[in-house]
């Protein structure tokens, strides 16, 4: 059976696969031994990648954990036949694009999407570019997309001389683009784009927001022409929850606390923070901190809680910046039951939930992703 995720990516599910519903009826803890047994039988044929925002019950089985950039590199380098990606659909798409012939990428739950990625549809981006062309601005505009985007958006950027970036290498990607054009069209996260541009000294009034639902993006021709960065009106539903008042509150309650946040947070929050960085960098900051340091971390709650447990023995205290908790609900969809289901089907020779990017898209998406890896390697 073939399931269409969007016009350009499909997922296959074996018709004779074991019923997922029979797995979902069982408790989480009952999956542990079954997952471990399946992993042992599959051996080196299968690699399991786990994003930092995954729940503990799933990520404990990962061969590699990391942010989207780190895991994309692993996907590009592994020889494993099967790549089981415990993340969300855009990550599995990227793994399929970067993977080698004969490799198959599996997403345990096809409903594990990304609200940010969904805020930029290919038809909207094409309409934006058409409007930019009519204004005579396309020739000196370089399109960049965040990793958190559909393969079709990556291909769009690759075909028009742009590339993909992650929060780890956004600045390097921006510097690369400004050597090739006057302005950047940045998709789909306005906050990462604004924070990166601001760190490079670009004034806020030279970074305008393109609203895909507004006439000409909600901007005048003059504002678009004078811009250095066109920020797509998108955001992460988790990181947008953090507010400047949260920073003020933790500083008042815990004098001397260090506030570190992800650059998907609002500009106003990042300006108040001590440091910002990708999930990998946030972990690194805590690793290098002296004993006794206390941190308030502005990112997804599973990672924050995992860091708190890991560094407690080193005398470092870690709390979330917002104590109401910020859960990535789409990442949370992947459960031990989903993982056991895909692995046990693999043991039986059945591939379920395989993610395949259509060949027409894969070529240019690969160009954009390869450029990302080249820029990061410089």
DSSP state of 378: -
Q: Give the pair of three-digit tokens for residue 259.
A: 């506030």
- Show contacts of 125-134: CB within 8 Å, 24+ apart: 125/153, 125/156, 125/187, 125/212, 125/232, 126/156, 127/212, 128/185, 128/210, 128/212, 128/217, 128/232, 129/156, 129/160, 129/185, 131/216, 131/217, 132/185, 132/224, 132/230
Digitized pLDDT (tens) for each residue of the chain, 378 residues in all: 445 455 455 555 554 456 888 898 888 889 999 999 999 999 999 999 998 888 889 999 999 998 877 887 888 889 999 999 998 888 899 899 988 888 999 999 998 888 888 899 999 999 999 999 999 999 999 999 999 999 999 999 999 999 999 888 999 999 999 999 999 999 999 999 999 999 999 999 999 999 999 999 999 999 999 999 999 999 988 899 999 999 999 999 999 999 999 999 999 999 999 999 998 899 999 999 999 999 999 998 888 999 999 999 999 999 999 987 677 777 778 999 999 999 999 999 999 999 999 988 999 999 998 898 888 765
3-state SS class at 46 = strand
What burial class does residue 172 get, using C-beta atoms within 10 Å of its C-beta: 0-12 exposed, 13-18 middle, 19+ buried? middle
DSSP β-ladder status, 354-357 and 104-106: antiparallel
Phi-psi region of 282 (alpha: psi -120 to 50; beta: other; left: phi over 0): alpha
DSSP β-ladder status, 141-146 and 183-187: parallel
Alpha helices, DSSP H, located in 80-178: 89-98, 122-134, 151-159, 170-178
Give the pLDDT confidence score for residue 330 in this predicted structure.
73
CA distances from 319 to 66, 78, 306 (A): 20, 35, 11
CA distance 138 to 132: 5
Give the pLDDT confidence score for residue 262 in this predicted structure.
95
Show the domains of the chain with their CATH numbers: 2-113+330-358 (3.40.50.10800), 117-236 (3.40.50), 239-327 (3.40.50.10800)
- What is the model's pTM? 0.87
Give the pLDDT confidence score for residue 377 in this predicted structure.
64
Question: CA angle, corner 316, sides to 312 and 320, nearest 5?
Answer: 90
| Residue pointed to by tokens 């079709």 | 152
Asked if residue 346 lies in contact with residue 46, where contact means CB atoms within 8 angstroms, the answer is: yes
CA distance 234 to 85: 24
Give the pLDDT confidence score for residue 325 in this predicted structure.
66
Tell me the CA end-to-end span of the chain in Å, nearest whole number.
43
Asked if residue 246 lies in contact with residue 321, where contact means CB atoms within 8 angstroms, the answer is: yes
Asked if residue 106 lies in contact with residue 355, where contact means CB atoms within 8 angstroms, the answer is: yes
Give the pLDDT confidence score for residue 10 in this predicted structure.
53
């Amino acid at each position: 059976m073939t399931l269409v995720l969007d016009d350009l990516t499909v997922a296959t599910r074996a018709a004779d696969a074991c019923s997922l519903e029979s797995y979902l009826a069982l408790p989480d803890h009952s999956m542990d031994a079954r997952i471990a047994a399946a992993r042992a039988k599959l051996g080196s044929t299968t690699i399991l990648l786990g994003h930092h925002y995954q729940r503990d019950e799933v990520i404990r089985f990962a061969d590699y954990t990391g942010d989207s950039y780190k895991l994309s590199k692993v996907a590009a380098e592994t020889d494993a036949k099967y790549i089981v990606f415990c993340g969300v659909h855009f990550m599995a798409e990227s793994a399929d694009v970067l993977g080698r012939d004969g490799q198959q990428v599996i997403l345990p739950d096809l409903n594990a999407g990304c609200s940010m990625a969904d805020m930029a549809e290919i038809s909207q981006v094409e309409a934006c570019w058409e409007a930019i062309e009519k204004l005579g601005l396309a020739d000196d505009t370089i399109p960049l997309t965040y990793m958190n985007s559909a393969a079709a958006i990556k291909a769009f950027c690759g075909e028009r001389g742009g590339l993909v970036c992650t929060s780890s290498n956004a600045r390097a990607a921006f510097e690369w683009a400004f050597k090739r054009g006057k302005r950047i069209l940045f998709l789909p996260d306005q906050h990462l784009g604004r924070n990166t541009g601001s760190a490079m000294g670009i004034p806020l009034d030279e970074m305008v927001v393109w609203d895909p639902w507004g006439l000409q993006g909600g901007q005048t021709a003059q504002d678009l022409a004078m811009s250095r960065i066109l920020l797509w009106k998108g955001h992460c539903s988790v990181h947008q929850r953090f507010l400047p008042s949260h920073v003020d509150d933790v500083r008042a309650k815990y004098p001397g606390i260090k506030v570190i946040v992800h650059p998907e947070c609002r500009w106003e929050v990042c300006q108040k923070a001590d440091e910002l960085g990708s999930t990998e960098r946030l972990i690194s900051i805590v690793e290098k901190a002296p004993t006794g340091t206390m941190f308030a971390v502005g990112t997804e709650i599973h990672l924050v809680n995992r860091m708190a447990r890991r560094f407690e023995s080193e005398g470092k205290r870690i709390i979330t910046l917002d104590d109401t908790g910020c859960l990535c609900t789409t990442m949370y969809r992947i459960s031990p039951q989903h993982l056991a289901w895909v692995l046990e089907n693999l043991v039986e020779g059945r591939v379920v939930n395989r993610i395949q990017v259509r060949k027409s898209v894969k070529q240019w998406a690969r160009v954009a992703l390869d450029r990302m890896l080249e820029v990061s390697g410089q």
